[in-house]
Amino acid sequence: MHPISALHPHTPALLADHYSGIDADFPVLMDLLFTRSAGEAWHKAGTFKHHLLGVYRSLALWDQPREVRLLGLFHSVYGNEYVNLTLFDRDRERQVLRTALGDEAESWVNLFCAMPRTQFVQAILDGRGAGTDGLILHGNDEQVFHLTPQQVAAFIVVTVADVGEQWHSWQDEIFAGYPYQQKRELDSNWAASLWPGPLKPPSNILHMLSRLLHALHALPADTGIPIPPAFDHGKAILSAKNEAAAAALYWQVVTRMHPLTESDTATQLLESAVEHNPWVGEPRLLLAQLALTKGDFDVAQTHAIEGLRAMQAWGTAWDKRIAWEGWIAWGRVLLQSACRREWPDSLGALNGLGLVE
């Protein structure tokens, strides 16, 4: 198997920042965001620009319609209940985005920004919005938001991409309990507030995201919104217990917190992490490297393929110490080496890895 066979058709373009290969209008759209300082604004794990690109990347890998991809790319530009990132004035500048995105995509951006998003997530988790009537939400000032089934599906998908792209252990702490979070005073929780924190993979958000994707199966079949591949296309629900266990086991290995006197211990911890949470790619890629070191090339190939598949099923990194592109590049090196049945025999030789032909 050649390494390229493990890639989604959009992955090479995304790795090359050749977004115009997916949407010919993309450079113009990004220029529009850059003129509003999207590349300068802070956002959770980086800048707002990187966040928007990450959300778009997930939606592209999930084969979402153009309107949904554009919603992801512009999903907070009018501001929302979570962030102070208003790039366009809703009262005066909607026509700017209508011209750039089209009327339907802009209307979805406006609705997504204006609606009470926490209430939306709670409603989906509570089983509401599953019928043909869509979903009604009640905002401030007696505002009523009526979402069609298609909008419910699209907003679920964009919410999962949005949350998954930005969430790491810092948000586990400052937004603990989302979407039922309670106010916690900053002065008594100052240690939790220090950004970026240890950048551990999240321990309690994928459970919630798996439930959101699972809810897509209860919606009418004619929404035209594909179910993302994560969690076996939304058919599996990751338990909160398994999510926490997998994150802890993985962290024991990558930070060497557990005594690793021989590689079997690391392998067993990572295999256990995969058993608890088979829906993320990073533990698989570490297992692939350990197998290569032992000369178990067939095992390494299997883990590398599954790791790459999981990384692309998300379009974002679970372990955000390294960008998604870096994990994909490393996974391809591992897969290429497994296919060639070769691996360095010295530490220094690792430094020369990197070429994918």
Whether 136 is in a domain gets the answer no
pLDDT of residue 1: 40
Number of domains composing the chain: 1
Whether 317 is in a domain gets the answer yes
- Range of the structural domain that residue 333 is part of: 241-278+280-357
Secondary structure string (H, E, C) spanning 98-158: HHHHCHHHHHHHHHHHHCCHHHHHHHHHCCCCCCCCCEEEECHHHCEEEECHHHHHHHHHH
pLDDT digits (tens, 9 = 90+) for 20-31: 999 999 999 999
Whether 314 is in a domain gets the answer yes
Q: What is the DSSP letter of 47?
A: E
Whether 357 is in a domain gets the answer yes
Whether 333 is in a domain gets the answer yes
pTM assigned to the model: 0.96
CATH code, 355? 1.25.40
Give strand pairing partners of 145.
Answer: 137
Residue 2 clears pLDDT 60, i.e. is over it:
no
Q: What is the mean pLDDT of residues 316-329?
A: 97
pLDDT digits (tens, 9 = 90+) for 246-274: 999 999 999 998 888 889 999 999 999 99
Q: What is the mean pLDDT of residues 28-41?
A: 91
Whether 205 is in a domain gets the answer no
Whether 143 is in a domain gets the answer no
Q: What is the mean pLDDT of residues 27-36?
A: 92
Report the mean per-residue pLDDT for the chain: 94
Backbone angles phi, psi at 91, to 5 degrees: -75, -25
pLDDT digits (tens, 9 = 90+) for 127-171: 999 989 999 999 888 899 999 999 999 999 999 999 999 999 999
Contact assessment for residue 242 and residue 78, using Cβ atoms and an 8 Å cutoff: no
Whether 24 is in a domain gets the answer no
If pLDDT is split at 50, 70 and 90, which confidence band does 86 have?
confident
